[in-house]
Amino acid sequence: MPELPDLTVYAENLAKALTGRKVRTVAYHQRGKLNVAEGDLAQAVTGAQVAGIERAGKQVAFRFGNGNVVRVHLMLTGGFVLTDSRQLDRLRYPVLTVTFEDDAVLAVTDEKGWASVALNPADEKDAPDALAVTAEQLELLCRKKPRTLIKPLLLDQALIGGIGNAYADEILWTARISPKSPAGKLPPEAVQALADAIPQVLTDAIAELRKRHPDMVSGEYREFLKVHRPELKTSPTGARIIKENVQSKRTYYTDEQQLYQ
């Protein structure tokens, strides 16, 4: 599943390609989920210009000049495709296609059909974004969810926006905290280490993706990760990588990470 670094680079590249373009047609292909009728979506964005595209948690938000917003959640296997109208028949597993007046096309595709598209989703109190979460906010979350293991806490999008399975492992390794530590057992110094590790790991990953895959709008690239890679046997510091399920999530960690209990 795409995570915060992937989605950040997707949004940057989509914004470069599509900002200022005017929508000619919209087609929903009866795959995935749509929160309104297809006609309502078409009416809302047809003729409108793309005003901006940003990551919002683990979603990508498309803002239009007429004030409407479309949010896309790619879920496990979804992706974006930039193409043109001559290639529409070649798209595999389309969920949504947006054709612009210059014949450029943006498609949302998903083999499993789990991706969701939402027009003007109801205002919700967003969880703090992972790139902006503070030590104080983390301390409050740990007190609020004391029995929750720290890895599932990081993955809960209602608590912190943007972190997925792979980067949770990278963050916890960097902070040297075991993924099996109950959140309420973390001492202040561990919470601070976690607060420092979250932006460090995520911003480093964004920089790596920009450098290695500068045009990406889909896919997940993990070749630079330090522990969450199936082929790795040891961490960069030489510790054996342990691979096991932690509350149904495949988890990679080492004995360097302290278990607080």
Q: Which residues contact 38 (CB under 8 A, 6 or more apart)?
A: 26, 27, 28
- For the segment 233-253, what is each residue's pLDDT rounded down to a tens digit? 999 999 999 999 999 999 999
pLDDT at 166: 98
Same domain, 102 and 165: no
Secondary structure in 3-state letters for 200-255: HHHHHHHHHHHHHCCCCCCCCCCCCCCCCCCCCCECCCCCECEEEEECCEEEEECC
Same-domain status, 159 and 78: no
Domain contains 113: yes
Q: Is position 258 within any domain?
A: no
Token pair, residue 80, equals 């974006």
pLDDT at 209 over 90: yes
Q: Same domain, yes or no, for 105 and 203?
A: no
- Alpha helices in the chain, H assignment, sequence order: 4-18, 38-45, 135-144, 150-155, 165-175, 188-212
pLDDT of residue 149: 98
Q: What is the mean pLDDT of residues 144-167?
A: 97
Confidence category of residue 123, pLDDT binned at 50, 70, 90: low
Percent of residues, the chain, with pLDDT higher than 90: 97
Look at residues 56, 91, 119 and tell me which one is the last residue of a structural domain. 119
pLDDT exceeds cutoff 70 at 125:
no
Residue showing tokens 């949004």: 11
User: Which whole number is the average pLDDT over 183-196?
Assistant: 98
Instruction: Count Cβ atoms below 10 Å from residue 144 Cβ, excluding itself.
Output: 12
> 116-119 and 33-34: which strand pairing?
parallel
- In this predicted structure, what is the pLDDT of residue 127? 87
69-73 sheet: strands from edge to edge: 33-34, 116-119, 69-73, 59-64, 50-56
| Burial tier of 19 (Cβ tally within 10 Å: 0-12, 13-18, 19+) | middle
| 142 in a structural domain | yes
Domain range enclosing 63 = 4-119
Q: Are residues 115 and 141 in the same domain?
A: no
Q: Evaluate whether residue 76 is within a structural domain.
A: yes
**Which CATH number belongs to the domain containing residue 101 in this structure?**
3.20.190.10
> 0.75 exceeded by the pTM?
yes
> What residues contact 208, with CB distance under 8 A and at least 6 apart?
5, 224
pLDDT of residue 50: 98
Task: Pinpoint the alpha helices (H) of 19-163.
Answer: 38-45, 135-144, 150-155
Regarding whether 197 and 95 lie in a shared domain, the answer is no
Q: Pull the structure tokens for residue 209.
A: 């993706």
Long-range contacts from 84-88, C-beta under 8 angstroms, 24+ separation: none
Residue 63 falls inside a structural domain: yes
Model pLDDT, residue 142: 97
Same domain, 20 and 101: yes
What is the per-residue pLDDT across 172-181, written as a single tens digit (0 to 9) for each? 999 999 999 9
Does residue 225 belong to any structural domain of this protein?
yes
**pLDDT (tens digit per residue) in 59-103:** 999 999 999 999 999 999 999 999 999 999 999 999 999 999 999
Domain assignment present for residue 195? The answer is yes
Instruction: Answer whether residue 130 is part of any domain.
Output: no
Cα 212 to Cα 217: distance, rounded to the nearest angstrom:
13
User: What would the pLDDT profile of 15-33 be if each residue is shown by its tens digit?
Assistant: 999 999 999 999 999 989 9
Q: Mean pLDDT across the chain, nearest whole number?
A: 96
How far apart CA 159 and CA 137 sit, in angstroms, is: 10
CATH number for the domain that contains residue 199: 1.10.8.50
> What are the φ and ψ backbone dihedral angles of 244, each rounded to 5 degrees?
-155, 165
